[in-house]
Amino acid sequence: MSVPLVEAEIEAGGRFGYRPEFDGLRGVAILGVVMFHYFRNWFRGSIIGVDLFFVLSGFLITRLLFEERRKYGNISLPDFYARRVGRLFPGLVVVSLVLLVGDRLFIVDSNFRALVSGAIGAVTFTTNWLRVAGVDTSELSHLWSIAIEQQFYLLWPLVVLAVGVSVRRINRMSAAIVVAAGVNLLVRSLAGVGPGSPSLFNGLDTHGMLTLGAGCWLATTLTAENRWGNRQVLLTVGLLLAVAARCVLVVIPDTEVFYRTWARGGAHLTAVAMVVVLVAAKELSWMRFLLSRRALMWLGQRAYSMFLWHQPVRSYLPIGPVSGLVLRNLVFLAVSVVVSEFSYRLVEQPGRKWIVNRFSRRGRQAAPASV
């Protein structure tokens, strides 16, 4: 029986390994998220940030599953889940506790009940479904995307084990997931579900499966050196796709309906195109040079902490006499960077190490990038 190309590459010792440009791409993604939230009128196209995180996560998690099988001969679900919880849970607990205590002690006219709902959604990874149900999750509502990722992490290894750890089968399964999610979106839109419906944007079955599934498909399609032949051709296709998607974001009129329909589609395409280009162009020095800059890598490594804290900082930080929206947001941005550094060093890294060492039999496993 012939060995699928990606498996052959792994078995031959061609491990995916750590690639710094993926940290750089995460830096680009978190910049997009923060710019969209802080300076929306100037950076509305940066809506791509969350979708880029989704595609990257699907890609890297799938590669990690294959890497674990290569290293140990099988995939351990307890170890996988311990690593995912260790990656996400400490930061969520701390940001929730800080906001709950701070709100109770210092905020006079607060909506504490909504914040409690947000904290419950955060630590149970259900924020997205609370938003679909219309529950007010206060200043933790931005954690809907973390919930979608964790729900995907819960299900995807089960799918991989169910279909067999075969690159060919998983490639077909992930492609089917993307198609099914796309059809689901289309049918529900045609059935009268408005473009502003929270279920379309916050649902694991729609937004999550579409973009995370695309990343999984890329992981099983683009990692073999000659799977699609000439990488230069693939690179060109990816670049053209990115340009076309960005045109969608620029040319279509600036309306709310646009940003809930066409813009979302353009963001999905752009996120996929960027990962296609990065994987296909891994030998291109200029691509590695641009995304391996120390500042982008530094930001990418702290992207999760930055994502957790940038919205609460803007909502709760009193900055006194500073006037002007742009100046205020620049102050918020600077404070968010500082808070993220402390969170990364004092919460995220120690928390992950403690959970993984305590609950993962295989201990700390090297990852190709922070995921």
pLDDT tens string, the chain, 371 residues long: the values are 333 333 333 333 334 566 788 888 888 889 888 888 888 777 665 567 777 788 888 888 888 888 888 788 888 899 999 999 999 999 999 999 999 998 888 876 778 899 999 999 999 999 999 998 888 888 899 999 899 999 989 988 888 887 766 667 776 777 777 676 666 666 555 554 554 566 666 766 666 666 666 667 666 665 544 454 545 555 565 666 666 655 655 555 554 544 555 445 555 556 666 666 666 555 556 667 777 888 989 999 999 999 999 999 988 877 666 566 778 888 889 999 999 999 999 999 999 999 998 887 765 544 444 45
- What pLDDT, on the 0 to 100 scale, is given for residue 221? 67
- What pLDDT, on the 0 to 100 scale, is given for residue 352? 93
| 261-284 CB burial, b ≥16 within 10 A, e <16 | bbbbebbbbbbbbbbbbbbbbeee
- What pLDDT, on the 0 to 100 scale, is given for residue 354? 92
- What pLDDT, on the 0 to 100 scale, is given for residue 10? 34
Region of residue 73 (phi > 0: left; psi between -120 and 50: alpha; otherwise: beta): left
- What pLDDT, on the 0 to 100 scale, is given for residue 176? 73
* Number of neighbours of residue 357 by Cβ within 10 angstroms: 12
- What pLDDT, on the 0 to 100 scale, is given for residue 2? 34
Task: Write the CA distances from 28 to 21, 39, 146, 293, integer angstroms.
Answer: 10, 15, 18, 11
The string of DSSP letters for 133-191 reads TT---GGGGGGHHHHHHHHHHHHHHHHHHHH-S-HHHHHHHHHHHHHHHHHHHHHHHHT
Burial class (CB in 10 A: 0-12, 13-18, 19+), 24: buried
